[in-house]
Amino acid sequence: MWLSDRRTVLFGLLALGGCGFVPAYGPQGAAGRLQGRVQVDEPVDGDSYLLVRRLEERLGRAGGARFGLSLALEVKEEPVAITATNITTRYNVIGKATYALRDLEDGKVALSGNVDSFTGYSATGTTAATQSAERDAHERLMTILADQITTRLIAGAAGLPE
């Protein structure tokens, strides 16, 4: 049984190689066009700082930037659980990021789009615990949005100039 599973996996990998599949970060992968070559706009607040930090972790800090990444970030909090005495016990943090990757040589937008997601936190603990949970929810949301942006940039990287 185990041997046949290994053969299936091996056959699947060979089939992927035959159809032109190349790992994104492999030697000939498209993600190499982005790695260390994207200058992300400077953050303007705490949430955008967390977003930019995660993008730079994923794409690398730009030494000789070929591309510029502009971001517009919208974040709001909504109460989702309210007690009978009108006390909010849970919040959702909802975020939307609009991005545009520009070619710095000609200024044209090469890739653009928007991503959105949400996280939540509980407000039932002490004030310090609630504030900590809120900060953590914002950081998780910025990580999710940055990872979604990075994934979309990598998916479209094959069409970018060298």
Query: What pLDDT shows up at residue 159?
Result: 82
Residue 1 domain-assigned?
Answer: no
Q: Which domain holds residue 45?
A: 31-159
State residue 149's pLDDT score.
97
Task: Please tell me the distance from the alpha carbon of residue 58 to that of residue 53, in angstroms, as a whole number.
Answer: 9
Encode burial over 65-84: b for 16+ CB neighbours within 10 A, e otherwise: ebbbbebebebebeeeeeee
User: What's residue 63's pLDDT?
Assistant: 80
**The two structure tokens encoding residue 101:** 């990757």
> What CATH number corresponds to the domain at position 128?
3.30.160.150
Per-residue pLDDT of the chain (162 residues; tens, 9 = 90+): 455 566 666 566 555 555 565 665 555 566 677 888 899 999 999 999 999 999 999 998 878 888 999 999 999 999 999 999 999 999 999 999 999 999 999 989 999 999 999 999 999 999 999 999 999 999 999 999 999 999 999 999 888 877
Q: Is residue 116 part of a domain?
A: yes
Positive or negative torsion for Cα 24, 28, 33, 37: positive
